[in-house]
Amino acid sequence: MRTLDGIVRAALIASALLAVQARAAEPVRLFDAAEECSEFSQAGMRECLAKKAIDSAASLKKAEARAADAISRWDEDANYIKAAQAKLRESGAAFARYRQAQCAFATSLAGGGAGNSHEISRLACVADMNAQRAMELFRETDTLAPK
């Protein structure tokens, strides 16, 4: 009987640990423009996502400008400031290429979807990636000590 109790306890503990691991393996979506626009019909969803993509592009431009400003006011040697400014420009260009490739991939997963499904997928991807990039820029440069 004690052996059976031990086996049951071990199975319960293992089951709980596997459930925790499964949840930890699920990706966390920080932004979900498609979910925010899901209340609309397909045409309305496309319009909503187009607006979110435009708004996120404007937010990203502001975040890039804030990051550049924070770096230019950074209390650090000029050579490090210039290097960080160059890396910010490089990073922005690489991000734009990555966003294009990633959103093309995400759009391809709509397969033979009808109507606006490909454009909806692309716009949602662009909006989400722009928002994430803006947040990353803020996080990376917000703590730079100004002169």
**Residue 81 maps to a domain:** yes
Write out the H or E segment, with its range, that includes residue 67: helix 42-72
> Taking Cα atoms as reference points, which of 46, 57, 47 lies closest to residue 118?
46
Domain extent at residue 103: 31-141
The CATH code of the domain that includes 133 is 1.20.1270.180
**Residue 70 maps to a domain:** yes
Task: List pLDDT tens digits, range 22-69.
Answer: 544 455 556 788 888 888 888 888 999 999 999 999 999 999 999 999
Average pLDDT taken over every residue of the chain: 85
Tokens coding 146: 């100004």
Using DSSP's 3-state secondary structure scheme, residue 113 falls into: coil
- What's the rounded mean pLDDT across residues 63-85? 96
Amino acid identity of residue 71, one-letter, is I
Task: List pLDDT tens digits, range 127-144.
Answer: 999 999 999 999 999 999
Q: Which residues contact 121 (CB under 8 A, 6 or more apart)?
A: 34, 103, 106, 107, 109, 110, 113
Q: What is the DSSP string of 10-22?
A: HHHHHHHHHHHHH
**Residue 16 maps to a domain:** no
pLDDT score at 8: 46
Q: How far apart are CA 1 and CA 104, in angstroms?
A: 60
**Residue 54 maps to a domain:** yes
**Residue 21 maps to a domain:** no
Domain total for the chain?
1
**Residue 132 maps to a domain:** yes
**Residue 88 maps to a domain:** yes
Residue pointed to by tokens 């293992």 = 14
Q: What Rg, from alpha-carbon coordinates, does the chain have?
A: 22
Q: Are 45 and 117 in contact (CB under 8 A)?
A: no
**Residue 14 maps to a domain:** no
pLDDT score at 97: 98
